[in-house]
Structure 1
Amino acid sequence: MTVLNFKNYKVVAMKYQLNDNFFNKEQDRRSFNYSPNLKINFTTEDENKAVVRIRFDSKNELPFDINVVIEGEFEYNSEDDQTKIGFEELLKKNATAILFPYLRAIVTQLTSMGNVYPPLILPTINISALLDKENNKG
């Protein structure tokens, strides 16, 4: 058995809307810059089960506004945690890293279906470094 079991994920929300106000006359409609806005929440159902929610928003940053929210269900096997990392720490880093590729694929597919602009392909992210950076802000 593994310490952290990924049971399933589900799409909670998907929204795509063209942002007609994004470009001015001088901008090239085929290229754009963005900075990912990623939010991560953890909800522990009991001492061995949790739901991890990841959200990606791009409001007024792209030629389209998108919102994607996914949730993953995880179980913790404390008896297999030989290094005693703990459930919360495993959720923060490992569960988020497990879910992120699903989020990336959904964002790419959703933005490709608009058929006006190139699809948005989120870059791979070092989840551990991102979480450490967020923790140091607070």
Structure 2
Amino acid sequence: MSYLNFLNYRVLDLEYVRKNDIDLKRGKPIKLQPKLNVHSEYDDKDSIVNVTLTLTGLENLPFDLKATIEGKFKYIHEEKLPSNYLQLIQNNAATILFPYLRSVISQITLLGNEYSPIILPLINVESLKEKHN
């Protein structure tokens, strides 16, 4: 039996810079094309996995926006690990972390107090990652 225990997360980088030269018309829909970069490091000794998610690709907004969070996980395993265990851990950890990243994006855009906050849709993290990594 194997499972991933989520220990904590932290915000590593958060960038919100207003663009002065953008004229955003009210009521005009914005097409978001977020890009998700996932990076992981595995400590064999302690079975600790650190996974970093970076969201970019939100260029057509009236502000530049980038966010990076890191999650810490403990991987518990009682059996022989499959050959692709690092990929499995990374995928599951990214799926666990993504709602926290969504929340960070919503909060920082809400605090800008000039435009409606961005609420990223629920997505299949694996398909977004495959498209852009």
What's the TM-score bracket when you normalise by the shorter of the two chains?
0.7 to 0.9
Range moving further from structure 2, 13-22 or 105-114: 13-22
What's the TM-score once normalised by structure 2's chain length? 0.83
CA distance in 1, matches of 2:58, 2:22: 10
Shift, 1:61, TM fit: 2.2
Shift, 1:101, TM fit: 0.1
- May I ask how many residue pairs the two structures share in their alignment? 131
RMSD: 2.5
> How has the CA–CA distance of structure 1 residues 37 and 133 changed in structure 2, closer, same or farther, with 3 Å as cutoff?
closer
Counterparts of 1:1-138 in structure 2, within 5 Å, are: 3-23=3-23, 28-31=25-28, 32-46=30-44, 48-58=47-57, 60-79=59-78, 84=82, 87-134=85-132
Structure 1 runs of 4+ aligned residues shifted over 6 Å read none
CA contact (8 A) 1:52 1:96 kept: yes
| Superposed CA offset, 1:63-115 (max 9, x none) | 11111110001111121x68948531332221000000000001001001111
CA contact (8 A) 2:33 2:58 kept: no
Range moving further from structure 2, 69-78 or 31-40: 31-40
Q: Which amino acid aligns with 2:64?
A: D
Q: Percent identity?
A: 36
Unaligned runs of 5+ in 1: none
CA contact (8 A) 2:55 2:66 kept: yes
What's the TM-score once normalised by structure 1's chain length? 0.80
CA contact (8 A) 1:78 1:86 kept: no
